[in-house]
Chain A
């Protein structure tokens, strides 16, 4: 087993899972909503990027921008349908969960209807080839996806830390009622959160589509993985999501190399269940209910 290959695969998977899990985690902690339509955002952004590649330009930057913008729009759509009308209604967490599931079902079927079940492939935006760093051999798309997602993650974290909107989002994560009382607009902040997380899912879609195909049901596996990574990290914790993404990416890499690809999900789930049995709120989650 080549340790460098293992490390590289781990970082690559961790970056992509981190993008997915962070979105779900931020939405849960700031809006109190579990976004099951994140998979739909993922699939739609893949098609958005594909449309850009078909009709506008196959330039890497344009394709990535297409995916990110489509993701942000899809996020705004989900927020407009599932959060804005429901957030002050009774039984909001369950109803929004079901609403996002309905959006996911509806969107998946619409994609199937418009684009037919035939899979699409994105152009290789990072080109084909390998880079040698001493003993390490890395393909362009691996390097590209690691760099891209690291940039987006860092930009998002910096934005959350330093911008006024980020301050509002963090205020809402800590105490939604208090934030509303001191004048943080619940609706506008929610839409900002949805658009940012949608954009993250969009980027993840473009990056993952370098290795997989785009199809109407392509969002399911990333959704499930992002969700369980967020769960294992502790819903609502940014650091926890990143730690869990690295751990689960490592387990996936080790299992795929050591045991074989078909055991990946099983080992991942055993790990997650073990984590949750020891810490029911995830690695870095808080034990007490922070959101009621």
Chain B
């Protein structure tokens, strides 16, 4: 006997597949839609207006709440460290803002341009060393260092872009790791770049020398925060505008398609790569003015791995992932400094866990959860269809009359319930109560039997009235006579009807 089908499961599974959007009261879409980011056709907030289907009240739905969340998060980052933190916390926040800016720009190379370059930190280092060198030996002031940083970044970018034209994927990634190592070895061996002092220090800084320590730290933090905002704006301007759209049409392994559309994806990739290299060099110049110099630790493998951990934990290809990953890693690396060497092991552990269990970092978890839930739903549906009558999803596509699917499902449920009712006592009751009042259970069974389609329905044929009755099955087609089912012969109509009943019961029991 099969268990009655639990249809509550299917209704609860349907709830939740619809997206839950924040709702506001009243119309307001018109006024929001009029606002634009300057020089673009982008609205700050995508708002949908409509009527609530139940109450018919007007309402606004925020289609994408990300800008609001960004605003809240950035406001918290801007306000919290100077207000609540001590000096070391503020310098950790400065590191966070700087690394977040580097990661956001790096995301342009990896995500938008699709060039898996691991030389981002090396580009920053080249900008920093170049600016520091010019400041130490040629006496450049801090504002000139900010200007030469991008130039050094661009030159380095051009140099490492040459192999990127021919190499692809991991070949390029491995080469850039090598280039980073080359930079490190060069810097620690070069006398002029401070091989003895482990870094080139003594460059000019933008924080005035007569400033007290804490205001100086706060000023450094806010300058880094502005760098982060500029990096986000650059990301938005490249990824969201023409270059980003061109490259969105040319993802990996679909380049030929983009080329057929007339998109020069190679030029677009190199352009994005050079822009992000220049921006990284600019961050390097800023770094040199912030720390009054540059240290070769920028080129070490461990630092590169920390940077990679930041973008991997948040999710490669998303700015919010880059910022959150940076936050987590910097929190462990700089704030929980009391943990000693264990903190780097912890960071590596988080990185490993992220990569083992998630497909796209922390921000990929919602999509991964939805995919998993969809898979489980399909599995459950498949299991249900094993219990008779239920239609498999791919079978359902073939059936034009969707009502018949529902009818089959309903029929299966009714059959399952009726099977539970049929007992020997019930069969005995049917035999003895031919023209009498019958129990509720028997009536239910008989009503189901009577409802059956005419084709192949059992009937009683009076061969000789009051002497010989046989069971036949109707053909269901006009002009085609019924066929005799078996060679049983009954002497009374009541016995014949009970014979039909027994046949129906055994058919019901055999059905799934």
Interface, chain A (partner B; CB < 8 A): 34, 39, 81, 85-86, 89-91, 93-95, 97-99, 101-106, 108-110, 112-113, 217, 220-221, 224, 227-228, 231, 235, 262, 265-266, 269, 272-273, 276-277, 280-281
Contacts and interface: CB of A to CB of B under 8 A. Distances in A.
Contacts of B308: 98, 101
B259 interface: no
Interface residues on B, range: 35 or more
B171 A280 contact: yes
Contact of A220 (B162, B179, B181): B181
Q: What secondary structure prevails in chain B residues at the interface with A?
A: helix
Contacts of A231: 171, 174-175, 178
24 contacts: A34-B170, A81-B356, A89-B359, A90-B359, A93-B170, A98-B312, A102-B355, A105-B347, A109-B341, A112-B341, A113-B345, A224-B177, A224-B181, A227-B174, A228-B178, A231-B175, A231-B178, A262-B185, A265-B181, A266-B182, A272-B178, A273-B163, A277-B166, A280-B167
B328 interface: no
A272 B175 contact: yes
A290 to B, nearest CB: 13
Contacts of B505: none
A244 to B, nearest CB: 13
Given A98-B351, A102-B351, A276-B163, A227 B171 contact: no
Nearest to A99: B355
A277 B162 contact: yes
Contacts of B344: 105-106, 109
A277 B174 contact: no
A86 B167 CA distance: 26
A156 to B, nearest CB: 22
Contact of A102 (B170, B174, B178, B348): B348
B489 interface: no
Q: Give 5 closest A-B pairs by Cβ, nearest first.
A: A106-B348, A102-B352, A105-B348, A102-B351, A262-B189
B355 A95 contact: yes
Contacts of A273: 162-163, 175
Contacts, number: 112
B305 interface: yes
Given A227-B177, A231-B174, 19 more contacts: A34-B170, A90-B359, A98-B312, A98-B351, A102-B355, A105-B344, A106-B344, A106-B352, A110-B345, A221-B181, A224-B181, A262-B186, A265-B181, A265-B185, A269-B178, A269-B179, A273-B163, A276-B166, A277-B163
Interface of B: 162-163, 166-168, 170-171, 173-175, 177-179, 181-182, 185-186, 189, 301-302, 305-306, 308-309, 312, 316, 340-342, 344-345, 347-349, 351-352, 355-356, 359
Contacts of B181: 220-221, 224, 265
Consensus secondary structure, chain A interface = helix
Contacts of A97: 170, 173
Contacts of B167: 276, 280
A113 B179 CA distance: 28
Contacts of A101: 305, 308, 351
A199 B285 CA distance: 44
B175 A276 contact: yes
B351 A105 contact: yes
Nearest to A96: B355
Given A228-B178, A262-B189, A269-B178, A106 B345 contact: yes
Contacts of B341: 109, 112-113
Nearest to A285: B171
A231 to B, nearest CB: 5
A260 to B, nearest CB: 10
A204 B99 CA distance: 36
B167 to A, nearest CB: 5
Contacts of B349: 102, 106
A231 B185 CA distance: 20
A262 B309 CA distance: 31
A273 B181 CA distance: 15
B164 to A, nearest CB: 11
Nearest to A261: B189
A100 B182 CA distance: 22
Nearest to A282: B171
B342 A113 contact: yes
Max chain B C-beta neighbours (<10 A), residue from A34, A89, A90, A231: A231
A224 B122 CA distance: 15
Contacts of B178: 224, 227-228, 231, 269, 272
A277 B167 CA distance: 8
A235 B356 contact: no
Contacts of B174: 34, 227-228, 231
Nearest to B166: A280
A82 to B, nearest CB: 8
A94 to B, nearest CB: 8
